[in-house]
Structure 1
Amino acid sequence: MKKKISFLTLGAALIAVPVLAAQGGKMGDADGNGVLTRAEAQAHATEKFAKMDANGDGKLDQSDREAKRAEMHAKMFERLDADKDGSISKAEWDQRAADREAKRDGWRGKRMAAADGERGMRGHHGMRGGHHGMSGGRDMMMKADTDGDKAISQAEFQTAALARFDAADTNKDGQVTAEERRAARDAMRAQWKAKRAAAPDAN
């Protein structure tokens, strides 16, 4: 189970590599012009790999996932420990629970308000797409791990990122526009839906 979770985690990270995630001057679009070049995609992949490679050993594997989880736990403890005395009191714990519930209420209110409009429908599909994305992420992880060592090297990570860029760059002009990104996302969603529909037959 741990290996499966690790695959999903790293695979989901691969999905966040430029092309599908690049929108509105973010996630690799360095000059913010709404168009992602191959050079920008490569630079962003290098930067993202460095951030994900928690122990700096030049590969993404289970140890990086464990290090990231430990870092998240430490940050969570720091947030909970409001008075910074090195321990979490019941009052601090209760306050955290109250804050989380308030956020949930706010989120529920926004979701209900959006449910009546087209935007709400897109948000609903987006949540489902995120679920499919985890399965697609595992597939991408396995494809990126070309030598089958259950780890992704920087070279494998960049190769996967640029392969996604090249696939989205339908007119092969060395850049991916917003229209090409949308087309690539739609094609990926269609693949996920087809796989999900075929899953019962495979079992």
Structure 2
Amino acid sequence: MHTTLRIAIAAAILMPAAAAFAGMDKFAEMDTDKDGRISQAEHTVGADKMFAKLDADNNGSVTAAEMDAAHAKWSDKNTAKADHAGHGKSMSSADKIAKIDSDGDGELTSAEHAEGAKDMFAKMDTDRDGNLTKDELEAGHRKEMADHR
């Protein structure tokens, strides 16, 4: 699969998941050392937390039903922001999973999700300094979703 498309789909999955952090700004939640930048390690931890929110039965994979249920739980304020930014409802959960489901089994494994998050980080790190600023994070998600709607 084309890497840019994989990144866009990962963004579509990760961005609504970020809204699940009970009113927390997604950047602030992932910037655990509060230095104003998200390192690759911080991004990985954030992506893992987001995956855990989606994996309701804790079996290491996410089905479309689990993703739909997680999306339904998130506050309408945060969901509206994610949808307005081009994330969330632009593609069905099953379609999102299919785009990065490397083994084609209809489920998103933690490894598949992690690979998508890694690719997305690299794409968003436009200055190649190994960190994401808030501007890079937001611009990266906007660009990927605008390019693949």
Q: TM-score range by the shorter chain?
A: 0.5 to 0.7
Distance in 1, Cα, partners of 2:143 & 2:98: 20
List per-residue Cα deviations over 1:118-148 (Å, max 9, x = no partner).
xxxxxx9976434x54225756433321111
> Per-residue deviation at 1:172?
1.8
Counterpart in the other structure of 2:6: none
Which one-letter code corresponds to 1:29 in the other structure?
D
Decide whether aligned partners of structure 1 residues 164 and 17 sit closer, same or farther in structure 2, where only a CA change above 3 A counts.
Answer: farther
Distance in 1, Cα, partners of 2:31 & 2:112: 21
Counterpart in the other structure of 1:157: 113
Task: Give the fraction of aligned pairs with identical amino acids, expressed as a percent.
Answer: 29
Q: 2:128 aligns with which of 145, 154, 172?
A: 172
Distance in 2, Cα, partners of 1:16 & 1:127: 8
Distance in 1, Cα, partners of 2:145 & 2:139: 10
Which one-letter code corresponds to 1:135 in the other structure?
S
Structure showing the higher helix proportion among its residues: 1
Counterpart in the other structure of 2:89: 134
Q: State the 4+ residue runs in structure 1 displaced beyond 6 angstroms.
A: none
Decide whether aligned partners of structure 1 residues 15 and 142 sit closer, same or farther in structure 2, where only a CA change above 3 A counts.
Answer: farther
Runs (5+) with no aligned partner, structure 2:
1-9, 19-24
> Per-residue deviation at 1:30?
1.0
Which one-letter code corresponds to 1:181 in the other structure?
L
1:55–1:67 contact (8 Å) kept in structure 2: no
Counterpart in the other structure of 2:143: 187
Decide whether aligned partners of structure 1 residues 65 and 173 sit closer, same or farther in structure 2, where only a CA change above 3 A counts.
Answer: closer
Distance in 2, Cα, partners of 1:60 & 1:149: 11
2:16–2:88 contact (8 Å) kept in structure 1: no
Distance in 2, Cα, partners of 1:169 & 1:133: 22
Counterpart in the other structure of 1:87: none
1:11–1:137 contact (8 Å) kept in structure 2: no
> Per-residue deviation at 1:177?
1.0
> Cα RMSD (Å) of the superposition?
3.7
Alignment size in residue pairs: 128
Runs (5+) with no aligned partner, structure 1:
1-9, 73-106, 108-123, 196-203
- TM-score normalised to structure 1 length: 0.50
* Bigger radius of gyration: 1
For residue 127 of structure 2, give the secondary structure of its aligned residue in structure 1.
coil
